Every structure is written in C-alpha cells, then in structure tokens.
Structure 1
Amino acid sequence: MGSSDRLFNRQRSVHEILGGGLGNSCLAFVGTVADVILWKRKNVTLGLLMVTLAAWLVFERSGYTLLSLVSSVFLLLIVILFLWAKAAAILNRPPPPLPELHLSQEMVNEVADFIRLHVNTLLSVTQDIALGKDSRLFFKVAASLWLIYFVGGLTDLLTLGYTSLVIILTIPALYERSEDHIDKYVIVGYRKLQQLYVKLDEERVSRVHNWSLEKKKLS
C-alpha cells in the first residue's frame, strides 16, 4: 500500500510512529512501549490493564488517594526489607536480593537530551502560538485544550486516566490490524467530502454571481 493510499500520506508504519525500532540506545524503552501498545508483548499489555483496573477499583472503593496509597506501599516495602536485612544479619542469612540501584552517566545524559529536545520543541511551539505565527496550530491547540476541559468536567482524573490507558492500548492495535481497510474507507470518505465541499462552494459562487447580475440589471 503506497503512502498516497494511507492517512496523511504517511510512509512509516504505526509501530515506527509510536517509537519502535530505535536500536540499541538507552532510549530503546520507547520501542518497548510501542510493542506494549500494539500488543506485541501480550503478557505485559494484559498485565498492565489488569493492574490498572485493580488500582482503579482500589481507589474508587477504598477511598484512598494516589499519594496515600503510594506512601503506604513504599512504607510497607521499606519495613519488610529493613526487617529482612536485620533478621538476615542476626541469623547469618543472605540479605534481600536487591539489584544495584545506580544510574550511569550515559543513561542520565541520554535521558536529559531526550527531555531537552521535547521541552525545546514544546517551548518553540508555545512561542509561535503566543506571537501569532501559526494560526492553524493555535486553533488545534485551543481545540485540544477545550476538549480536555470538556472531558475533565464529565469525569474525575483517575477515571479519565484509566479510560485513556484503555484507549491507548486498544485503538492503535485495532487500527494496525486493519489499517489498510480503515485507511481505504477514510480516504474515500474524505474525498467525497471534498467533492461535496467543492460542489457547495460552486453553488454558493454561482448564487453570488447571479445575485450580482440581477443587482446590476435592477440598477
């Protein structure tokens, strides 16, 4: 299927658009995220959905807030590890099998470059909008913010987050499986809308022209 037969004339696959195939870089976790979103790692995706659903139910039914739950979990974990280490020292047993908690300088630099690149892009876009350089982008951002405001008024942040995660983990995967058919019908529909717009525009121009001629005759 050629790029002209795809939405937005794109040449990359859905997996590549989501960040797949970044190579052996420390930022290759983005490729892993793409695999999870597209269900190429079904166990991870399904586990993520189940854990998120369980967390949502806990928050909704127990009355916990995110901060209180995270604090409780970390407190329980630290107490268990502390008592385990003390008991192991007394009984001459091995300590808890913790991995080495260390960030390499290379990883920190690459993550910092990744964040700096996207933050600079965001700042550049913000500057263009604030200075009125890109009207189309302004309306897109304004419409997106209004949509977020509208949806946020209908539900709470937790439910919105869970619903968004479900959408992220379902819509791209379904689209990838049937993208040829979806692109075909969407493009056909878009072309028909274009033809209808041209037809309506021609009729409008024709009416204005006829009205102008009639006005000249009357004058």
Structure 2
Amino acid sequence: MAHNISSDPDNEINTTPPKLFEKPIHDVLGAGKVAEVLLWRNRNVSGALLFGMTVIWFLFEVVEYNFVTLLCHISITTMLVLFIWSTVADIFKWESPQIPEIVLQDSFFQDIASIIHRRLNQLLTMLHYISCGTDLPSFLMVIIVSLYILSVVGSYFSFVNLLYIGFLCMQILPIVYEQYEEEINNLVGHLIIDLRKKYRSFDKRYLNKIPRGPTKEKKT
C-alpha cells in the first residue's frame, strides 16, 4: 500500500516521502554552463573558480586587504610584469606577450544573470504568498526558523565569510545531491512528514482552541 491514511479525515497526511526537487538537479540549476560548473562536469573550470574564490577570501579576510588597495596592487603588478616582459622581448628579439581579447564568453554571464533573475522572482513570489497568511506552517518556518537562524549566523560571521560559505555550498551541495539523490530525498522527505504531523498535533491541541470572533459577511 503506497499511502498510509489516518482514520481522522481532518488529519489526513500523505506518508510517502516527497522529493526535494521534482526535476533533475541539472535542470533545476538552469541546464546551462553554470549548471555544468556547479556540478563539476568541467573539473578544470570548477577547480579554477574554487581556487580563485579561495584566494580572494584569503586576501580580504585573512590578509585584510582593502578592495581598492588590492585592485591597485594587482593592476600595478600586472602592468609591471607586462612592461618588463615587453622590454626583454624587444632586446632579445623574442615574441611579445599576447593578451587574449576574450577571457570569458558573454553567454556565461548571461546564464548567471538569467538564473539569478529567475530564482529571485520565485523567492519574492514565495515570500509574498507566505506573508499573506494563507499558509501558517510555512510562515512560521520562514520567519521564525529560517530568517532568525540566518540573522543569528550573520551576527557571528562577516559578510565576506558568509559569501564564501555560500559559494562553498553552491560548489559542494549540488554535486553531493546528484550523487546521493535517493538517500537525501528519503531523509528530507521523512523530516517534512514528521514536521507536518507535529504541526497538525499542535494545531489540534492549541491553535483550534483559540477563541475567534464571529466572521462578518461581506456586503455585495
């Protein structure tokens, strides 16, 4: 029997563990070049991106570089290396340094902007729906649990650390989910079912007993 249904129709709960994502994780991430990077399909690009972000985090958080100072130092070093290289190449009749005109393709940034735009719209729509009070469990989960925990975590970490932790999660969690999709879906699904049962019990014992005033009929 695929579904276990309680005898009380008001407390009917589907005990089949829901999936965390209905689509494959590759499609959820946009099925583009960004998804390829986050899922480590191109290990050279993903590893280089991880190394670069780690170096940036180290310079800002550990060495405590200022952004303008760091940008100026990088520019000075690059220009100095190119000047010395060009001068030595002219003296010894070597080939002068060739700087590629295109470092990253435009489609890469377009994919990132498209994913951010789509996810931001989905987030704002979800927050608007929850704020209207139509789904009390989701409202409590978002306001009390998610946002409060995030505010507490933000008080112990700097903004740079939070960005770096978020980047590490983006680089690690998708590939972990893709490799252990069934185990993660079962774990999260059973957790969601337990939370639903606890909320139904809390609603039946306490929330339904709160006295409410008579509802007024709307005038037509």
Q: TM-score range by the shorter chain?
A: 0.5 to 0.7
Rounded to whole Å, the distance in 2 between the matches of 1:166 and 1:186 is 21
- CA RMSD between the two structures: 4.4
Please list every run of 5 or more consecutive structure 1 residues that lacks an aligned counterpart in the other structure.
Answer: 21-30, 210-219
What is the CA–CA distance in structure 1 between the aligned matches of 2:46 and 2:74, rounded to whole Å? 23
Partners of 1:208 and 1:62 lie apart in 2 by 56
Which residue does the alignment assign to 2:25?
Answer: 14
TM-score by length of 2: 0.60
Percent identity over paired residues: 25
Gaps of 5+ in 2: 1-15, 212-220
Map of 1:1-219 to 2, 5 A cutoff?
Answer: 6-7=18-19, 10-20=21-31, 31-89=32-90, 91-101=92-102, 107=106, 111=110, 118=117, 125=124, 135=132, 148-204=150-206
1: CA distance, partners of 2:29 / 2:48: 20
TM-score, normalized by length of structure 1?
0.60
Quick one: higher RCO (CA 8 Å, sep 6+), 1 or 2?
A: 2
Separation in 2, partners of 1:147, 1:71: 38
Q: How many residues align?
A: 184
Residues in 1 aligned to 2:28 and 2:197: alpha-carbon distance in whole angstroms: 30
Q: In the aligned structure 2, how far is the partner of 1:60 from the partner of 1:205?
A: 47
CA distance 1:54–1:204, shift in 2 (3 Å): closer
